[in-house]
């Protein structure tokens, strides 16, 4: 059985939702998955017990969670020696303009620059606007951001932009990468 570790950072929960969907897709393909929020990874967890690792983080105000950057830096050597993937979740990925695509590419490049780790597979998924969970100030700020990008400014409801088929495809592609590595080393 293929053993996969998923470690993610999530602000309002969309990255957690994406991580769970990836885990569910992998499990449907008979993989064993351990899933941890980046702040809850057991101390001393040995990555060598896994056939592959997926790291996920989200962008908030232009930055990834510091604890996820730190996790990738600390484990960069191990991640570079095994099938390992990274996925990013951000509202900007919901846009289709050249500027928004360039911004998403910049976020992904920043991840690699700040961690020193170049993943074998990278995914970028649109996030969500959770207006109903935000406080007044954050709701006001996010409404301004949304007005420029998605146009969804009704703060009485939430909006989800994640393309779940793309998430499942990312998971399946990662599993194929892991299985190809297993065949080579068998």
Separation between Cα atoms, residue 131 and residue 124, nearest integer Å:
22
* Per-residue pLDDT at 186: 63
Annotated domain spans of the chain: 2-127+162-185, 129-161
Residue 88's contacts (CB-CB under 8 Å, 6 or more residues apart) are 56, 57, 58, 59, 64, 104, 107, 108, 111, 122, 123, 124, 125
Separation between Cα atoms, residue 53 and residue 35, nearest integer Å:
10
Separation between Cα atoms, residue 124 and residue 94, nearest integer Å:
10
Fold classified for 2-127+162-185: Rossmann fold (3.40.50)
Helices of type H across the chain? 14-28, 66-74, 76-80, 98-115, 136-148, 164-185
Stretches in the chain below the pLDDT threshold 70: 186
> Per-residue pLDDT tens for 14-68?
999 999 999 999 999 999 999 999 999 999 999 999 999 999 999 988 899 999 9
Model pTM score = 0.93
* Per-residue pLDDT at 10: 93
């Amino acid at each position: 059985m293929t053993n996969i570790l998923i470690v993610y950072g999530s602000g309002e929960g969309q990255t957690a939702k994406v991580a769970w969907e990836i885990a569910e897709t992998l499990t449907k393909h008979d993989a064993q998955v351990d899933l941890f929020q980046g702040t809850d990874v057991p101390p001393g967890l040995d990555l060598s017990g896994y056939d592959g690792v997926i790291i996920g983080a989200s962008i908030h105000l232009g930055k990834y969670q510091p604890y996820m950057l730190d996790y990738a830096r600390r484990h960069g050597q191990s991640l570079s020696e095994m099938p390992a993937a990274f996925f990013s979740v951000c509202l900007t990925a919901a846009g289709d303009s050249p500027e928004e695509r360039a911004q998403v590419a910049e976020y992904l490049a920043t991840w690699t620059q700040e961690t020193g780790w170049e993943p074998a597979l990278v995914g970028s998924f649109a996030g969500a606007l959770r207006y109903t969970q935000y406080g007044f100030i954050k709701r006001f700020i996010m409404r301004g951001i949304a007005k420029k990008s998605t146009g969804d400014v009704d703060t009485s409801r939430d909006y989800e932009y994640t393309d779940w088929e793309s998430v499942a495809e990312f998971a399946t592609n990662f599993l194929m990468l892991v299985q190809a590595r297993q065949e080579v080393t068998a």
